[in-house]
Amino acid sequence: MTVRRAAAPHVGRPVGGGPHEVRLIGGQWKRSKLPVADRPGLRPTPDRVRETLFNWLGQDLTGWRVLDAFAGSGALGFEAASRGAASVVLLERDAALVRGLLDVKARLKADMVQVVPAEALAWMTRQAPAAFELILLDPPFDAGLAGPAVQAAQPLLVPGGWLYLEAPEPLAALPAGLREHRRLRAGAVSAQLLQVD
């Protein structure tokens, strides 16, 4: 297990209520800007945390099927697409954020990205198993969804697949069949990379 210190969790949050943006940090759309709406609880994954995650996974995700289950700004999902993922599903229930994700998809000509207006837990429970190599989970911190989201996501992973979780605290106990590969703490954010046994 690797424990690293990283950027504070407020990196990428709106300051003073104004709109702002985050940048993709690797792949074909490196340095492309993504707008971040002023929405309660919306806190895009900080650059350094995203960089660490994709260093853990390897820089090339060619052919991978990826689910970003609480897409928000889309920073995690578009980062995966930028690094070669064959398909990326972005789930988002907020209609304004969905429109923003569709605008980014059109601007980047990201044909491999599918934006789905849906509640993540309900959507995941309706899917066929073993559909994704990587699932990205960054649920609202105040909603207590980390454990339920991991349970809903686990059946959707292929054998050896990866599950990334951001939460206020790491999961105290992992479901059977998942093991922790890496962990970091970035201020108030815990990030865990889990793998299907």
List, for residues 22-66, the tens digit of each pLDDT value.
Answer: 889 999 999 899 988 777 666 778 788 999 999 999 989 999 999
- Rounded-to-integer distance, Cα 172 and Cα 169, Å: 8
In which region does residue 129 sit, left (phi positive, over 0), alpha (psi from -120 to 50) or beta (all else)?
beta
Average pLDDT taken over every residue of the chain: 88
| Rounded-to-10 torsion of CA 161, 167, 169, 171 | -30
Higher pLDDT, 28 or 3: 28
Q: What is the pLDDT of residue 38?
A: 75
Of 145, 141, 21, 11, nearest in space to 74 by CA: 21
- Rounded to an integer, what distance in angstroms lies between the CA atom of residue 130 and that of residue 145? 22
Q: Is residue 29 exposed (0-12), middle (13-18) or buried (19+ Cβ within 10 Å)?
A: buried
Which tops the pLDDT comparison, 142 or 85? 85
pLDDT per position as a tens digit, 101-115: 999 999 999 999 999
For 24, the token pair is 């993709």
Cβ-contact 34, 22 below 8 angstroms: yes
Cβ atoms within 10 Å of 98's Cβ, excluding its own: 18
Pick the CATH number of 20-196 from 3.40.50.450, 3.20.20.140, 3.30.750.24, 3.40.50.150: 3.40.50.150
Q: What percent of the chain has pLDDT over 70?
A: 89
Half-sphere exposure (CA, 13 Å, Cβ side) for 14? 13
163 pLDDT tier (thresholds 50, 70, 90) = very high
Q: How many CB atoms within 10 Å of residue 89?
A: 22
